[in-house]
A and B are shown apart, each in its own frame.
Chain A
Amino acid sequence: MHYWLKLLVGVLAATMFAAAGFAQTPIRIGVLLPLTGPFAKNGIENWEAMKIARDMINERGGINGRKIEYLEGDATSPAAAISETERLITKEGIKITTGSFASPLAIAVSQAAERHGVFHWETTGAAEIITRRGFKHTFQVGAPARKYGQAAVDFIIDDLAKRLNKPVSSLRIALLWENRAFGKSVGDGIRAYTGKKGIKLVYDEGYDQFSTDMTPIVQKLKDSKPDIVIAISFPNDAILFQRKAKELNFNVSAFIGVSAGYSSPDLRASIGNMVNGIFVADFPPKVNPNVLKPEVRKIADEFYKRYEKKMGRPPAGHATAGFSAIWALFTDVLPKAKTFEPDELRDIALKLDLPEGSLVNGSGIKFTNFDWPDNPKDAGQNLRASIGVWQWTKGGNEEVFPPKLATHEPIMVPLPSWDKR
């Protein structure tokens, strides 16, 4: 009897061990996003997009049979981003991190990850410095800051100037930027790029995004009589600016916001139809499906459907970018990995050579590796990240530039004055 009992226990134990060995352990990824605090709005949208990607891949059986598991870190501020990243790495043993929406957070997260030799897949952070610190394991899938500005300027040169019937040289262009990492980085990029193209800016000033009174800014802009304003703002200051522009009756022929505030769905909720006609240089929220590979088109459709169902509105550009980047990690990087060690993942990432249209937002992937002629210090920046200009319309938004990605022609050029809007 004793013998049988022992045997039974032995067999049971063996079965359990075997089961444990065969049941695939999940692939654990640390997601660092601002889920509370001032950036939470966009952070949460990004988080929802990332969760949709996780659910979609797990429903398809995971990656080579292994499910994806997220461990979240609340990167409220750069300091919190560092401590949360370190917590996930040292306490939870995370080897892959992703996130982190805003540039200052991306700078912090990637720094903590690099210190521990952890693979960081940055989805949306844009500041140029992210990939210029000699880091080996940081990959920035989204477009770098200068491209946002270049898209805005190219749009003026290639499209708006013709629609306004003015040579580019006689257009009066004003540049307004919030003076933190993102705004300054984009502003610097625009200044350099317009300089190269021989365009003079009639106004060029930074402001604090927590400004509570926009009167002096709008008044000064008004006095400089611009045809076109390019503005880099966050949601709250973008709203205050537009209201003040209406109050002071400040009219321009075209208004181009760059990402962040002007791409936020809050803008329409807050200022209603005043938003129609504003252009936004940004990650495309949605691109012309014809540029996407057929299998990517299906993924894109499913993502848009799920996101709208969950959030009650279509995704902003950064949320689509978050989804696109993490989906690329799931389908083009992780399936090729065996050890899932950061060095192996780095080699896989550096070998990626995906043409434009491979990601849901129209991007391709080709990373720099200290070999880019424009900046040999750059490593891990995606040279094929898509960026363009879209426009707020009555029904939602339409991609208008570059023509390849466009879903619609630009409308409301020149922009009607406030009393006619």
Chain B
Amino acid sequence: MTTLGQLVLSGIFIGAIYALMSIGLTLIFGVLRIVNFAHGEFLMLGMYGAWAMTRLLGLNPYLAMIAVVPAMFLFGGLVYRLIVSPALDKPHLVVVFATMGLSIFMQNAALMLMSADLFDIPPVFGHAVTIGPLYFKAELVVGFVITVICTLVLQWALKSTYLGKAIRATVQDREAAMLMGIPVPRIFLITFAGGSALVGLAACVMMPLFSVFPTVGLNFVLIAFVIVVLGGMGSISGALIGGICVGIVQSLSSYYVAPAFGQMFFFILFLLVMIFRPNGLLGQKGAADIGIAD
């Protein structure tokens, strides 16, 4: 029972962190209907940023958000202007290759600048959180809390703010939104930059838990893609639930079946969802065409 509790709760906590790094991807997909294949490298960049803030400036990694999140927002905006926006009205493959090229470029630029060394920051909290006989890294619990807050705030912002409404209108019908005076290209820019900022946030949460190195994104990006599709493409609360599902499935199957099969089982889950709920857990019909779901 203790073991089961440990596994399920660890799965939930780590799953929430997977969700946090996927929200940016789902947001960009939902609004722009493009897949950013450099998403993992954005995470890598954010993690280097968080590392630099912590190690070089001595900031607490959670405080590093103050600098990393806006910096990633600007970086996202720049990438949108230089790479994504020119490719938007071209055939879909152009964006795929543009972002994929960016991913390879960023990996190798990081390799040149930072070398292949693994970088870490010291733990933020000295002790693990104990719940009865269960142990959890405090950083993991903090990551979970930040994810939940972030999801709620985003949901609220999309529902209630003017910008949120404009984003949702753009999703529902680009032309109609444009006719209503919504500056669609600017909405795209803000969404792409905002999605990148969210990856920056995830990077700051992940830096105390993982090492950063040029190809760190590859370890996470596949999980992020699965979560985005699982949760319903473009759905933010779907991403949270999808992330937690992946975390739990990975944790339980690794323990009870074999660690080598952890990934296999979340892909089985993925296939099952695709067969029985092709639009994802919380996605609406035709989400891939319509975009953001809630």
**Contact for B254 among A36, A179, A217, A235, CB less than 8 A:** A217
User: Is A395 close to B, CB under 8 A?
Assistant: no
Give Cα distance in the complex from A236 to B219, angstroms: 10
Question: Which residues from 258 to 288 on chain A have a C-beta closer than 8 Å to any C-beta of chain B?
Answer: 266, 269-272
* Centre residue among B119, B122, B213, B260 by max chain A CB count within 10 A: B260
**Residues A213 and B251 in contact in the complex (CB < 8 Å), given A205-B260, A207-B260:** yes
**Residues A216 and B259 in contact in the complex (CB < 8 Å), given A36-B111, A266-B117:** yes
Give Cα distance in the complex from A248 to B134, angstroms: 8
User: Is B85 close to A, CB under 8 A?
Assistant: no
B115, A216: Cβ atoms closer than 8 Å: no
Which of these binds chain B: A38-46, A79-87, A113-121, A333-341? A38-46
* Centre residue among B115, B250, B254, B263 by max chain A CB count within 10 A: B254
Residues of B within 8 A of A269 (CB): 117-120
Minimum Cβ distance to chain B for residue A188 (Å): 14
A37, B215: Cβ atoms closer than 8 Å: yes
- Number of inter-chain CB pairs below 8 Å: 113
User: Is A240 close to B, CB under 8 A?
Assistant: yes
User: Is A223 close to B, CB under 8 A?
Assistant: yes
B255, A216: Cβ atoms closer than 8 Å: yes
**Contact for A236 among B18, B111, B211, CB less than 8 A:** B211
Minimum Cβ distance to chain B for residue A297 (Å): 30
**Contact for A215 among B7, B108, B210, B263, CB less than 8 A:** B7
B135, A247: Cβ atoms closer than 8 Å: yes
Smallest CB gap from A239: residue in B: B211
B255, A206: Cβ atoms closer than 8 Å: no
Chain A window 28-58, contacts with chain B (Cβ cutoff 8 Å), 1 for yes, 0 for no: 0000000011101101100000000000000
User: Is B137 close to A, CB under 8 A?
Assistant: yes
A236, B213: Cβ atoms closer than 8 Å: yes
**Residues A206 and B258 in contact in the complex (CB < 8 Å), given A40-B111, A236-B211:** yes
User: Is A331 close to B, CB under 8 A?
Assistant: no
User: Is A211 close to B, CB under 8 A?
Assistant: yes
Give Cα distance in the complex from A236 to B120, angstroms: 11
User: Is A25 close to B, CB under 8 A?
Assistant: no
- Provide the main secondary structure of the chain A interface: helix
Minimum Cβ distance to chain A for residue B175 (Å): 41
**Residues A41 and B118 in contact in the complex (CB < 8 Å), given A247-B128, A270-B211:** yes
Minimum Cβ distance to chain A for residue B245 (Å): 14
User: Is B247 close to A, CB under 8 A?
Assistant: yes
Question: Which residues from 238 to 294 on chain B have a C-beta closer than 8 Å to any C-beta of chain A?
Answer: 247, 250-252, 254-255, 258-260, 262-263
Give Cα distance in the complex from A239 to B118, angstroms: 10
Give Cα distance in the complex from A217 to B257, angstroms: 11
Smallest CB gap from B6: residue in A: A219
Residues of A within 8 A of B219 (CB): 210, 212, 236
B250, A213: Cβ atoms closer than 8 Å: yes
Minimum Cβ distance to chain A for residue B19 (Å): 13
User: Is B93 close to A, CB under 8 A?
Assistant: no
User: Is A249 close to B, CB under 8 A?
Assistant: yes
B259, A211: Cβ atoms closer than 8 Å: yes
Residues of A within 8 A of B211 (CB): 235-236, 239-240, 266, 270
Question: Which residues from 103 to 142 on chain B have a C-beta closer than 8 Å to any C-beta of chain A?
Answer: 107-108, 111, 115-120, 122, 128, 135-137
Residues of B within 8 A of A213 (CB): 10-11, 14, 247, 250-251, 254, 262
Minimum Cβ distance to chain A for residue B16 (Å): 12
Question: Which residues from 209 to 233 on chain A have a C-beta closer than 8 Å to any C-beta of chain B?
Answer: 210-213, 215-217, 219-220, 223
Give Cα distance in the complex from A179 to B262, angstroms: 12
B262, A215: Cβ atoms closer than 8 Å: no
Residues of B within 8 A of A44 (CB): 115-116
Minimum Cβ distance to chain B for residue A81 (Å): 17
Give Cα distance in the complex from A38 to B120, angstroms: 17
Residues of A within 8 A of B119 (CB): 269
Question: Interface on A for B, CB 8 Å cutoff?
Answer: 36-38, 40-41, 43-44, 179, 205-208, 210-213, 215-217, 219-220, 223, 235-236, 239-240, 243, 247-249, 266, 269-272
Cβ-closest 7 pairs across A and B: A41-B116, A207-B259, A216-B254, A216-B255, A40-B116, A215-B10, A270-B120
Question: Interface on B for A, CB 8 Å cutoff?
Answer: 3, 6-7, 10-11, 14, 18, 107-108, 111, 115-120, 122, 128, 135-137, 209-211, 213-216, 218-220, 223, 247, 250-252, 254-255, 258-260, 262-263
**Can you add 15 more A-B contacts, CB < 8 Å, to A211-B259, A239-B211, A240-B211?**
A36-B108, A38-B218, A41-B213, A43-B116, A205-B258, A210-B219, A212-B18, A212-B220, A213-B10, A215-B10, A217-B255, A220-B254, A239-B118, A266-B117, A269-B119
25 contacts between A and B (CB under 8 A): A36-B108, A38-B215, A40-B111, A41-B117, A41-B213, A210-B218, A211-B254, A212-B14, A213-B10, A213-B11, A213-B14, A213-B247, A213-B251, A216-B250, A217-B254, A219-B6, A219-B7, A220-B259, A235-B118, A239-B118, A239-B211, A248-B6, A249-B128, A269-B117, A270-B118
